[in-house]
Amino acid sequence: MNRRTALKNTALGLGSLSLGNAMAATDAATAKLGGTAKTNHSTCLWCYQGMPLEELAERGQDIGLKSIELTTVDQWPVLKEYGMTCAMGTHGDFSISEGWNDPKLHEKLQEQYTKVIRDAADHGIPSVIVMSGNRRGMSDYDGMINCAVGLRPMVKLAEEAGVTLQMELLNSKVNHPDYMCDRTQWGAALGEMIGSDRFKLLYDIYHMQIMEGDVIATIRKYHPYIGHYHTGGVPGRHEINDSQELNYPAIVRAIHETGFDGYIAQEFVPSYDDKIKALAEGLRICEV
């Protein structure tokens, strides 16, 4: 009971946790930035259904794409042929709704992720995605504890392999009803419980604009817990241009000002007939 109380106090108190250090780091990074930064561009394969991976990789090269993510071990050699990587790997039996908050799934998930972490290390893939799973009546606190218990052995393996596990923040309001990791503060509290630089959050800008808004302030506050970013236009999850409500150049500038030097992945569904033209536009918007 004492341990659970201590963990709960940690979670509830995270709103101010390390905030002074985070803001100091942001100020230092801003001073070094000088107004310009190079964005490492990635995109997500599922957004280009009907387009062969080889075509996306070949055409993506021409517009400055470095990574095609949410791909699996059998696809990584194809990316290497085109001089690309996968910034965020996954596996063939991946599920959003059935995740680490369910102790009954821990054995199965640990078996899966033992393999995918080793595969990622063998192929030089820096990160692998994980999901909290749906609540199904479970409290957010109990789900957090369950995730921490299940993930700790995997994080230890990831530390040894040089791979980062990243839990995606998704909205439970529109796209993924009942999903547990739907608030940045909850995800950061889980990161604090796990206590490793090899566990981070995948901050999906589209999802978090829907769920909590205040995107730039949230990024500035919680950036020590964030290891990756996804884009997407709100509403509709299409292009990130001026047809939607978010100011992506300002958001990307704020990301760089935190000192972030990882990948920013376009995860919008193109509405243009020429999907590569839409992707190229997104990449240009994210050059600040």
Q: Each residue of 120-139: pLDDT tens digit?
A: 999 999 999 999 999 999 99
How many distinct structural domains can be found in the chain?
A: 1
Number of Cβ atoms within 10 Å of the Cβ of 174: 14
Q: Each residue of 177-230: pLDDT tens digit?
A: 999 999 999 999 999 999 999 999 999 999 999 999 999 999 999 999 999 999
Residue 1: inside a domain, yes or no?
no
Residue 22: inside a domain, yes or no?
no
pLDDT at 59: 97
Phi, psi of 43 (to 5 degrees): -145, 170
**CA terminus-to-terminus distance, the chain:** 49
Residue 202: inside a domain, yes or no?
yes
Tell me the residue range of the domain where 220 lies: 39-285
Residue 2: inside a domain, yes or no?
no
Question: Average pLDDT over the chain, rounded to whole?
Answer: 91
CATH number, residue 243:
3.20.20.150
Residue 127: inside a domain, yes or no?
yes
Q: Each residue of 264-274: pLDDT tens digit?
A: 999 999 999 99
Of all residues in the chain, what percent carry a pLDDT higher than 70?
87
Residue 48: inside a domain, yes or no?
yes
Place of tokens 């100011």: 247
pLDDT at 14: 52
Model confidence pTM above 0.85: yes
Read off the pLDDT of each residue in 222-247 and give the average, rounded to a whole number: 98
**pLDDT above 90 for 12:** no
Residue 19: inside a domain, yes or no?
no
Residue 24: inside a domain, yes or no?
no
Radius of gyration of the chain from its Cα atoms, rounded to whole angstroms: 18
Question: How many whole angstroms separate alpha carbon 82 and alpha carbon 77?
Answer: 9
